Structure 1
């Protein structure tokens, strides 16, 4: 038998259950070896939005200060509210809350993952607006590339002009970037990491970032101008207090993980609980699942046994021990199991809707594994486009059964299609930590490899 609940995101993001039937002022930094800190500096950042005529809710001008440390493999950015550490060797991002001093672990892939897909989305919208004669300048490709620091295909290069002592980058008549005359000498590594700082913190067209990375200096002042449907945003950055000094390695364990009570978002709460699980917690949960499966087989509870097989594989990424002929007979002749296999094969809208109703009815026949049926329902609702309902179901299951790696895969898929890539990658990383060999996560690894190959500048 097989279960094919279709693709939630695309051909490389499929529900886990389908596989089963087929079988983050100065802080310290984390690196395996002490990292050579090149430079620390302070940025004074001003932000001004010039809204288009008739626009409402225009953001007020804003000033902020960022304390930055650049090393050859990492960047630390500290604001009044939080400190973010980008580790390019580990391809991780740690965010430490300034008040609670607790941390959340993220993946660097979530940034390039979001920007590449948002670029496609914006380019599609821009083409549609142009076709509707709303103006070619609305969501123009060059603006999308500039806002997101991503370029998937060649476009007209920016024009670079010298105006007085400043260097200015133009796209047509629009100023995109202005680099002031005063430049501070920098090594190639320092220049490259300064460009990474700009990429992750402010954005900027790939051509601009490439020029910054290849320079032998850091500008004492620059401005970045972006254009979108709401108007023009100018970010002016003044670089102050530049020092070459060693920075001690970052120790993530010095900052405890954020507790589930530290967020009001239900998905964050589920992920924070999961991030705190220990290997002993996982081992105990697996033993419990195995014991419950053996008990169901011994007591002749065919549906619970069938769902127990599912649970084991979703937890471990492994196939359970083979069944005896008698055990196979127990499951194959169970009427609820036959109905369940039919519900799991639903593909059309009508069939998926009926399957959800059937799953609720089948749940009356299980004594210990109702949560498994809710995972199936969540996947069906996701395929029906009911992603909010699907996410709620996944969160409910993971609150009481936080050890099911496959559920984190599926929850991550539903978040990804909503462009919530930070939470999606948290889901996928947690699931992979629980079940490193789970074959259904290979698609995520392949996706990451393709992102790194297509956009190595992010790493």
Structure 2
């Protein structure tokens, strides 16, 4: 695998490499206007002690369960993008809840009693909210088959390859992260001390039935090689056409020296605004410092406090920031834009307030553009990455949401604004340890 030669390091324990043939077939429901074509692909998979590597034609994905990260490597450019494993389980859990609500509504309205049934949601997303009826397991000829009622969910041949506990667990992770799979099926795979030479996973959704077939073509030892994805450079901002990705790619390249310089610059600008008597810029500089560091700036002396409190634009801004109702939020957007006319150097900080107001008004596209504008002026504001991540999360764009949050926490590790994200991750890990 020459494209990832830089990734190879020596490990004390040998890992196993598999070459898999994977096929996908969709049987659409009657009347469907579009049916996806059948797909065939070959994957080279490495099952390591606490990592999983999946190499396809254009990319390699390294799942590092020790750090709870995955790296997506572009084989052409030999660059990588790092993501959090929490984005996968986070999406699956929230999508499960969403589908449960939608399925209940469809059933209650008699539109489709079978659409988004609980067992199908569990199977498609590999999560459970609570224990459900176990699948029925039978032997049919040379196959072991898992049923939910009359529906086949999973089938594996009796030809099994002996595997260590670690290898079986990592193979189950491969299926979990790539296809989904009912928790009962994945648990059986993880505990089997073997790997099936062929299997099929059948999922049922509103559009029809999808069958994934996996055949192990070959097995070999990789002589103890393991993976260090950090050996490859991160993707440059020019490597993506998406403006959010561009901003995040720039941010992950920041060094501690960059961060130190940015903080000193922000402090110097605040001191200058106070010295020159610019009350609004001083107030916005205090806000900026707090959102950059998660810390309060040095206390103002009596004259400096008077300068800020007596500023008319600051008073008007304070009123605008108290808005809560839809009408007040809409008015606050206008008022904040008016206040910005009085700012000399820190008008971009006001866009943070406008962006959050627009997000609360449901204008998430406009909010996203404003957050990105702020990051062009100062890409070191941890609080903006928190807010932008929240915006992506509401749109179910979990990979970018977690990238935003990870960057923000790297800039300001102790920032209280990220406490809810830390708590959510702890809850996801406690409720769904099988993903890790």
| Residue 353 of structure 1, CA deviation | 0.3
Structure 1 segments, 4+ long, off by >3 Å, are 25-35
Unaligned segments of structure 1, at least 5 residues: 1-24
- Alignment partner for residue 145 of structure 2, among 168, 178, 195? 168
| Residue 156 of structure 1, CA deviation | 1.3
The SS at the match of 1:269 is helix
Give the Cα separation in 2 of the matches to 1:247 and 1:364. 63
* Residue 65 in structure 1 maps to residue 56 in structure 2: no
Give the Cα separation in 2 of the matches to 1:382 and 1:123. 26
- CA change 1:271–1:287 in 2 (3 A) is same
Aligned counterpart, 1:48: 25
Give the Cα separation in 2 of the matches to 1:400 and 1:103. 26
The SS at the match of 2:95 is helix
* Residue 415 in structure 1 maps to residue 392 in structure 2: yes
Aligned counterpart, 1:280: 257
| Residue 135 of structure 1, CA deviation | 2.4
Aligned counterpart, 2:193: 216
- Alignment partner for residue 367 of structure 1, among 344, 353, 362? 344
The SS at the match of 1:347 is coil
The SS at the match of 2:227 is coil
- Alignment partner for residue 271 of structure 1, among 244, 248, 254? 248
Give the Cα separation in 2 of the matches to 1:48 and 1:247. 36
| Residue 28 of structure 1, CA deviation | 5.9
Of structures 1 and 2, the one with the larger relative CO (CA 8 A, separation 6+) is 1
CA contact (8 A) 1:307 1:372 kept: yes
Aligned counterpart, 1:344: 321
* Residue 106 in structure 1 maps to residue 79 in structure 2: no
Q: How does 1:133-152 map to 2 (within 5 A)?
A: 133-152=110-129
CA contact (8 A) 1:43 1:68 kept: yes
Aligned counterpart, 1:195: 172
| Residue 400 of structure 1, CA deviation | 2.6
Aligned pairs, number: 435
Unaligned segments of structure 2, at least 5 residues: none
Aligned counterpart, 1:131: 108
- CA change 1:412–1:30 in 2 (3 A) is farther
The SS at the match of 2:15 is strand
Give the Cα separation in 1 of the matches to 2:8 and 2:274. 48
The SS at the match of 1:145 is helix
Give the Cα separation in 2 of the matches to 1:197 and 1:190. 10
- After superposition, what is the alpha-carbon deviation per residue over 1:324-371, rounded to whole angstroms, capped at 9, x for unaligned? 011111111111000111111111000100000001000000001111
TM-score normalised over the length of structure 1:
0.93
The SS at the match of 1:273 is helix
- After superposition, what is the alpha-carbon deviation per residue over 1:358-406, rounded to whole angstroms, capped at 9, x for unaligned? 0100000000111100011000001111111101111111123111111
CA contact (8 A) 2:11 2:225 kept: yes
Give the Cα separation in 1 of the matches to 2:43 and 2:101. 35
The SS at the match of 1:377 is helix
